[in-house]
Structures are given as structure tokens and as C-alpha cells.
Amino acid sequence: MTPWEIRAVEFANCNCNYGCPCQFNAPPTHGNCEAVTCMEVTEGHFGDTKLDGLRFGGIFSWPGAIHEGNGKVQPFVDERANDAQREAILKIMTGQDTDPMATVFAVFASTLSEAYDPIFAPIEFDVNVEDRRARFVVAGLAECVGEPIKNPVTGEEHRARIDIPYGFEYELAEMGSGTATTQGKIQLNLKDSYGQFAHLHLNNHGVVKHRAV
């Protein structure tokens, strides 16, 4: 197993209501799951291959709950990545060189029945986890924005977080609102639905712990 480790900033948007039932082992809001996610590696490596500064993600669609399977994914990777970096990122994304079910990548990979060829494209990425604001654009493929949830009475920003001590993606995530459109093999049109802002720290064995349980 090639040792790898990444620290990354992530924004994800899915079709569920704020909070996302999946985070609580409940059925998805509308019976199915559609999502787009993107992250930027602030520091990382796969063996001797450095991954700092690279961006990647995927567009996902499942006909039911994620754990029921039969999902599809359109992976995308920063066009700036060289051949070794592309191979490393795709191995991480598909759950290779990882303990079984230890990361969100490995879990999602186990639920997919179809994975389209990865798209290598320019990726604009600007995400502030603490402010709950995000924007990423994958040229010709996806555009997504995130913002704080607003109080429906006062219009003020509302802050809520999800703390998962034994999760496979993050320890703590900020909740927000996301809107996204995607093109190509998986076409999504999400509006004011679940948005997730998080700092990730993952390696072959899962989430690297920083918080006391």
C-alpha cells in the first residue's frame, strides 16, 4: 500500500434539505441522491508525489440512498496535475491504497456501478469554510456556489455545524446553502439545497483526528 495523506478544503452541494439526512443514517430527502463536490489540497502527497495546491472532485447520482448502490460518477481533476499526480489523485478517489471503507472516497467507490472517464480541466476554486462561502467552476462541466443559510424571518445568517467523531470524511463541517448546475454525463440543477464546508485531513487509514471525542 502506497502511503498517502492530504489536507484539503472542501465544498459539497447535494439535493437534500439543509443538514442532509445521510449524515444521520436517514433516507435522502427526495428519495435519491445527487451531488457535486470539489476540494483543494492544501498539503498532500501520494508516496513521493506531491499534491499541494491541486483541485479535484466529482459529480454523483444515485437512484436511491447512497448505500443502496447503483450510483454514477463523473470525476474531474485539475488540468495542472502532471501524469503522476493525476494517477495519484484518481487512486485516492477510487479508494485504492486505502483501508476498506476508511475514507469517503472508498465508501462512495463501493456504491458506484458506473464511473465515467475523468475529465481534466481548469478548476476555479474559492472556499472559506468559516465564513460559509464558496464558489468553484470546472470549465465546461460544473459551476457551484455556497453561502450561509439565512433566517427566514430576519434574513440574518444562521450558523449550524455537524460534528461526527467517527466519520469517514470530516470531524466537523459547517452547514450552508448550495446552488449548482452541471453538464455532460450527469446533469444536475440544484438550488438552495444542502451545502457542506469542511477542512479534511485524510490518509490511508481514514480521518486523522484532531478533536477530543
Q: Of 188, 191, 197, whose CA–CA distance to 169 is shortest?
A: 197
Q: Mean pLDDT for the chain?
A: 97
What's the confidence (pLDDT) of residue 79?
Answer: 98
Which ranges of the chain would DSSP assign to H, the alpha helix? 83-93, 104-109
pLDDT above 70: percentage of residues in the chain: 99
Residue with cell 427566514: 152
What's the confidence (pLDDT) of residue 205?
Answer: 97
Structure confidence at residue 6 as a pLDDT band (50, 70, 90): very high
Q: What is the pLDDT of residues 157-178, one digit of tens each?
A: 999 999 999 999 999 999 999 9
Q: What is the pLDDT of residues 182-199, one digit of tens each?
A: 999 999 999 999 999 999
- How many beta carbons lie within 10 A of that of residue 114, not counting itself? 12
Predicted TM-score (pTM) of this structure: 0.96
